[in-house]
């Protein structure tokens, strides 16, 4: 199967295997240079006797590259270069820290310098070469699937606009079909309506269509249904608009859902096992213990900085709504002025909020202001991963304007979440609607692996200073 016909998860697997291959080749190159340039002789013997851990170094590279498994970011060369260099810098900084700490206690230990330097340099070069080939393969005209959208209504138009905005395009939309005679020959977001259900198979053959995206959310007439079955029988892929939306954007299209779909997705289908809940709670406890340990180490410096910058208090407490609508009190390091809400009215926070203090900006960009919430995780009010908890007043407001908003309360709120690593903060009703789409996607697809993936991406955002 060709690269361009693979689904999102399969493309990520190809990226992962390519990165591991590049890292393994870099390790072999490092062993060669290590032995030849530094006159160590047979480096294999050296590794076997003093540095057995070196052969496992390639496994560390993909977690450092975690943000580059976002398919849109992976398809942009500038983002790729930035991500690879950031991963190498974080890896080097981490290793240097471990090297000096451990060699202080064990001067003749097994931790080395030049071999790791050769490995990182080789990995950067080989990974960039592999990622360049991947991007070039996506840019080939023959790499795009030719797609026909079934339904030229609001959902079909929205799907066309979404695909046209994505760069690089995931596929080429050739046209639309609709049984409404008034739409024939019209343009929908620059794409023509080519015919109706009776002409579907002819259009498929004439235009070389490989996939049909069904954007009919209401009742479907018998002629259209039979035409879709006929197309599927001749080998054409058929996919519903909500599924395509999820695959393209990793979020759920709340504006184009019907109540029965919500019931199927969040009542009938979303049942998590007891093993998942137990594993998630154990991860929460371990993560909270580690987070509180880091908080104790950083609190004297962060607290002093807050006091010198804007005075007391150091901590900020606020009510938030958790699982099932239960209200609890959240704790954060204060990042805004003491009079940020002097009138008592809740306001949205955003990246360039004028109420934010100078130290607060740094705390938010590094997510250090969130560390006291690990206490809420340890108590069981929150989880490490889940939708961000909102204030009860804002929840009441958003429930009136955003469809299905209360569905995010089906799970515990989290310190980080799918919406945070993909979107950030929703500083408006519109932003909260988009965040909800990510939250519902997480609730529908949640697993221990997805939680681990979100935690890794959050760590990558912290090192990349991408917090808001």
Given 121, 139, 157, which residue is the final one in a domain? 139
Q: Are residues 210 and 78 in the same domain?
A: no
Do residues 373 and 388 share a domain? Answer: yes
Residue 266 lies in a domain: no
| Tens digit of each residue's pLDDT (9 = 90 or more) over 164-216 | 888 777 788 999 999 988 898 888 888 999 999 999 999 999 998 989 999 98
Rounded Cα gap, residues 167 and 448, in angstroms:
30
257 part of a folded domain: no
How many residues can be counted in the chain?
468
| HEC per residue, 217-276 | CCCCCHHHHHHHHHHHHCCCEEEEHHHHHHHHHCCCCHHHCCHHHHHHHHHHCCCCCHHH
Same domain? For 89 and 180 the reply is no
pLDDT of 160 strictly over 80: yes
Q: Which of 141, 154, 134, 157 is nearest to 75 (CA)?
A: 134
Q: What is the dihedral of CA 342, 347, 348, 353, to 10 degrees?
A: -30
Are both 135 and 148 inside the same structural domain? Answer: no
Tell me: do 174 and 219 sit in the same domain.
yes
Residue 88 domain flag: yes
Q: What pLDDT score does 12 carry?
A: 84
Digit-coded pLDDT (tens) for 362-406: 888 878 888 999 999 999 999 999 999 988 888 888 888 887 888
One domain, residues 120 and 239? no
Q: Which of 378, 395, 379 is nearest to 387 (CA)?
A: 395
Domain count, the chain: 3
> Is it the case that residue 219 has pLDDT exceeding 90?
no
Q: Which structural domain, as residue segments, surrounds residue 164?
A: 144-249
Please check whether residue 453 lies inside any domain of the structure: yes
pLDDT of the residue at 50: 56
In a domain, 175, yes or no: yes
Higher per-residue pLDDT: 348 or 145: 145
Strand partners, 364: none
Query: Is 346's pLDDT higher than 70?
Result: no
**pLDDT > 60? residue 426:** no
CATH number of 203's domain: 3.40.50.720
Q: 187: which strand partners?
A: 192
Neighbours of 440 (CB within 10 A): 28
Give how far the C-alpha of residue 5 lies from the chain's centroid of Cα atoms, to the nearest Å.
22
Do 336 and 421 touch, CB atoms closer than 8 A? no
User: Is residue 52 a part of any domain in this protein?
Assistant: yes
Question: Are both 107 and 175 inside the same structural domain?
Answer: no
Strand pairing report for 211-214 and 327-333: unpaired
Q: Do 135 and 154 sit in the same domain of this protein? A: no
Q: What is the pLDDT of residue 250?
A: 86
**Between residues 22 and 241, which one has the greater pLDDT?**
22
The CA–CA distances, whole Å, from 44 to 26, 34, 439 equal 15, 10, 49
Phi and psi (nearest 5°) for 172?
Answer: -105, 120
- Per the DSSP assignment, residues forming a β-bridge with 333 are 315
Mean pLDDT over 131-143 rounds to: 77
387 shares its domain with 281: yes
Residue 240 lies in a domain: yes
Is pLDDT above 90 for 25?
yes
The pairing of strands 315-321 and 327-333 is antiparallel
Question: What pLDDT was estimated at residue 3?
Answer: 44
The last residue of a domain, from among 215, 249, 283: 249
Please tell me the predicted confidence (pLDDT) of residue 382.
95
pLDDT by residue (tens digit) across 292-333?
A: 999 999 889 988 988 888 888 888 888 999 998 899 999 888
Out of 150-154, 203-207, 353-357, 393-397, pick the least confident.
353-357
User: Could you tell me if residue 35 is inside a domain?
Assistant: yes
Q: What does the mean pLDDT of the chain come to?
A: 82
In this prediction, residue 458 carries a pLDDT of 85
User: What are the structure tokens assigned to 11, written together?
Assistant: 């493309």
Q: Which of 139, 161, 190 is the last residue of a domain?
A: 139
How remote is the C-alpha of 122 from its chain's centroid? 28
Beta partners for 315? 333
Q: Indicate if 60 and 157 belong to the same structural domain.
A: no
**Among residues of the chain, what percentage have pLDDT more than 90?**
27
| Same domain flag for 93 and 213 | no
Average confidence (pLDDT) over 52-58: 78
Distance CA 95, CA 79 (A): 24
The verdict on 121 and 219 lying in the same domain is no
Please tell me the number of Cα atoms within 13 Å of 144 on its side-chain side: 16
């Amino acid at each position: 199967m060709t690269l361009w016909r693979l689904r999102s998860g399969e493309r990520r697997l190809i990226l992962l295997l390519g990165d591991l291959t590049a890292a393994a080749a870099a390790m072999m190159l490092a062993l060669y240079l290590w032995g030849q340039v530094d006159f160590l002789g047979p480096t294999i013997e050296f590794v076997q006797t003093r540095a057995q851990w070196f052969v496992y170094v390639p496994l560390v590279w993909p977690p450092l590259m975690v943000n580059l498994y976002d398919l849109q970011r992976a398809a942009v060369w500038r983002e790729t270069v930035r991500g690879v260099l950031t991963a190498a810098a974080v890896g080097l900084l981490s290793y240097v820290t471990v090297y000096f700490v451990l060699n202080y206690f064990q001067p003749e230990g097994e931790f080395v310098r030049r071999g790791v330097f050769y490995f990182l340099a080789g990995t950067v070069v080989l990974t960039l070469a592999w990622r360049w080939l991947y991007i070039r393969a996506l840019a080939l005209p023959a790499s795009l699937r030719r797609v026909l959208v079934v339904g030229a209504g609001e959902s079909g138009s929205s799907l066309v606009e979404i695909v046209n905005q994505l760069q690089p395009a995931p596929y080429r939309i050739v046209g639309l079909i609709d049984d409404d005679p008034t739409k024939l020959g019209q343009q929908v977001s620059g794409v023509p309506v080519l015919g109706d259900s009776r002409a579907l198979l002819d259009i498929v053959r004439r235009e070389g269509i490989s996939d049909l995206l069904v954007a009919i959310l209401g009742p479907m007439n018998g002629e259209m249904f039979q035409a879709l079955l006929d197309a599927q029988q001749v080998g054409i892929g058929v996919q519903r608009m909500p599924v395509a939306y999820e695959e393209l954007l990793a979020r759920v299209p709340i504006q184009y859902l019907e109540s029965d779909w919500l019931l199927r997705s969040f009542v009938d289908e979303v049942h998590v096992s007891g093993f998942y809940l137990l594993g998630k709670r154990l991860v929460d406890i371990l993560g909270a213990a580690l987070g509180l340990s880091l908080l104790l180490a950083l609190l004297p410096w962060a607290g002093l900085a807050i006091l010198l910058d804007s005075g007391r208090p150091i901590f900020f407490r606020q009510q938030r709504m958790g699982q099932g609508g239960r209200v609890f009190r959240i704790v954060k390091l204060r990042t805004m002025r003491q009079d940020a809400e002097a009138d008592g009215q809740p306001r949205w926070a955003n990246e360039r909020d004028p109420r934010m203090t100078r130290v607060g900006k740094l705390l938010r960009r590094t997510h250090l202001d969130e560390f006291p919430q690990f206490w809420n995780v340890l108590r069981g009010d929150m989880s490490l991963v889940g939708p961000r908890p909102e204030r009860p007043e804002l929840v009441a407001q958003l429930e009136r304007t955003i469809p299905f908003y209360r569905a995010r309360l089906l799970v515990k709120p989290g310190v980080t979440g799918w919406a945070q690593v993909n979107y950030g903060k929703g500083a408006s009703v519109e932003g909260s609607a988009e965040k909800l789409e990510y939250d519902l996607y997480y609730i529908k697809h949640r697993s221990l692996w997805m939680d681990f993936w979100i935690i890794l991406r959050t760590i990558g955002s912290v090192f990349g200073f991408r917090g808001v």
